Structure 1
Amino acid sequence: MRTAFPGTDSDPPALPRVNAIVVGASAGGVEALLKIFRPLRRGFTLPIIVVLHVPDERRSLLAEVFGSNLAIPVKEADDKEVITPGTLYFAAPGYHLSVEEDLTLSFSQEERVYHSRPSVDILFESAADAYEARLAGVLLTGANNDGARGIARIREYGGLTVVQDPAQALARAMPEAALALHTPDFLLSLADIGQLLVELERIAC
């Protein structure tokens, strides 16, 4: 497990090629996600799919908020949508979001996971099934255990796993639950996670 990301040409980290990135967050997640996505420049080529726990009784404004603050295209995911490179997708409130084997997105209303729908676990596990080793999973701040099982599944398939350092998380429960199940490839600050995403895209090009 690496606890720092050098991000320099003289000391490049050993990273795999990935075809997609999945990210999960809960309490404190808006600020954390903005911090890791701000370094991404226009023309970023990897798709990013995000579950952020939000109340499901009202329309989400995440796509609008992030779209006005980031250089890459941002949208709320649609059911049966084909995953497009270079797009940041947010799960819609009230529905679990899955990645299908044909690399489309799908909605479901199965039981909540840790009181949450959408669930980080369902996104991560389905994406691992679809992308296998060509997937990077990132788990950030959160106040429950959602995502721990999913990021362990990504690791089982040989994908890259990244967990926010719980000492720097607004809510430690989510990253600590992940660490209790497996040792990630990287345990990083938000700033280093942002640089890692930049490097993953550079390698993929």
Structure 2
Amino acid sequence: MSGEQRIVLRGHSRAPLEALVIGASAGGVEALLQLLSELQPDYRLPVVCLLHVPDRNDSLLADLLARRLALPAKEAEDKERLRAGVVYVAPAGYHLSIENDRSFSLSREEPRHFSRPSIDILFESAADAYGERLAGALLTGANEDGAAGLLAIQGAGGLTLVQAPSDALVPTMPEAALALLQPDFILTLDAMRTLLAELDAPPC
């Protein structure tokens, strides 16, 4: 859009970001804690995290993150609007989508890649809602969920981040993404944590 304010991220000009979505599976709890541990209470973006967890573990991840992070963390609720500076966790047993009005939607559709919630479904819906103003990160995991969703984010003009397979506890998920697309960044968790702070930069 002409005349629109831009941000400069590592030498590249792009639209200011408005949301961050993160997907992971095996090894994801530790990866999320490492990735989000230094985000400050004034962080500007909503952060939506989706991990493959058994149905019985629905509230444990949100509680753990709430105790360990400076940002507030909670489970996403149906029809809830996303708020800046909040870490949302996908509830177990439901697919989590983001609607065009920037609210959450929960559903019980069939699993995708044997997973419900599905990273692909979250990422694809977020790409539709936010377009180029979305960043998506795919971390450690043991199946291919999230690769197609990250491709959808890239296709919508969003920023794509993949954990370096050599840095991942289980590299299957990052490797599946790299087989499908060339992301903007392939990073270790330490380097990605530094980049997340840059994503919060206000428009120039």
Normalised-by-shorter TM-score class: over 0.9
**Does the CA contact (< 8 Å) of 1:15 and 1:200 recur in 2?**
no
Report the counterpart of residue 201 of structure 1 in structure 2. 200
> What is the CA–CA distance in structure 2 between the aligned matches of 1:99 and 1:80, rounded to whole Å?
9
> What is the CA–CA distance in structure 1 between the aligned matches of 2:87 and 2:149, rounded to whole Å?
19
C-alpha displacement of 1:162:
0.2
> Could you list the runs of 5+ residues in structure 1 that have no partner in the other structure?
1-10
> Could you list the runs of 5+ residues in structure 2 that have no partner in the other structure?
1-8
Structure 2 residue 100 is the aligned partner of structure 1 residue 101: yes
Indicate the structure whose relative CO is greater, using CA pairs within 8 Å and at least 6 residues apart: 1
User: How does 1:175-186 map onto structure 2 within 5 Å?
Assistant: 175-186=174-185
Report the counterpart of residue 49 of structure 2 in structure 1. 50
> What is the CA–CA distance in structure 2 between the aligned matches of 1:192 and 1:166, rounded to whole Å?
14
Give the letter for the 1:178 counterpart.
A
**Does the CA contact (< 8 Å) of 1:24 and 1:51 recur in 2?**
yes
Give the letter for the 2:90 counterpart.
A
> What SS does the corresponding residue of 1:85 show, helix, strand or coil?
coil
> What SS does the corresponding residue of 1:63 show, helix, strand or coil?
helix
> What is the CA–CA distance in structure 2 between the aligned matches of 1:192 and 1:14, rounded to whole Å?
17
Report the counterpart of residue 20 of structure 2 in structure 1. 21
C-alpha displacement of 1:111:
0.7
C-alpha displacement of 1:63:
1.1
Give the letter for the 1:14 counterpart.
H
TM-score for both structures, normalised by structure 1: 0.92
Report the counterpart of residue 6 of structure 2 in structure 1. none
C-alpha displacement of 1:59:
3.4
Q: Deviations over 1:102-158 (max 9, x none)?
A: 100000011101111000000000000000110000000000000000000000001
> What is the CA–CA distance in structure 2 between the aligned matches of 1:157 and 1:34, rounded to whole Å?
28
> What is the CA–CA distance in structure 2 between the aligned matches of 1:130 and 1:12, rounded to whole Å?
25
C-alpha displacement of 1:13:
4.2
Report the counterpart of residue 4 of structure 2 in structure 1. none
C-alpha displacement of 1:12:
4.1
Give the letter for the 1:116 counterpart.
S
Q: Say which is worse superposed, 194-203 or 120-129, in terms of deviation.
A: 194-203
Report the counterpart of residue 187 of structure 1 in structure 2. 186
C-alpha displacement of 1:60:
2.7
Structure 2 residue 74 is the aligned partner of structure 1 residue 75: yes
**Does the CA contact (< 8 Å) of 1:50 and 1:91 recur in 2?**
yes
Report the counterpart of residue 4 of structure 1 in structure 2. none
**Does the CA contact (< 8 Å) of 1:21 and 1:46 recur in 2?**
yes
Show structure 1 runs of 4+ deviating over 4 A.
Answer: none
Report the counterpart of residue 3 of structure 1 in structure 2. none
Give the letter for the 2:131 counterpart.
E
**Does the CA contact (< 8 Å) of 1:152 and 1:181 recur in 2?**
yes
Report the counterpart of residue 117 of structure 2 in structure 1. 118
TM-score for both structures, normalised by structure 2: 0.92
Report the counterpart of residue 89 of structure 1 in structure 2. 88
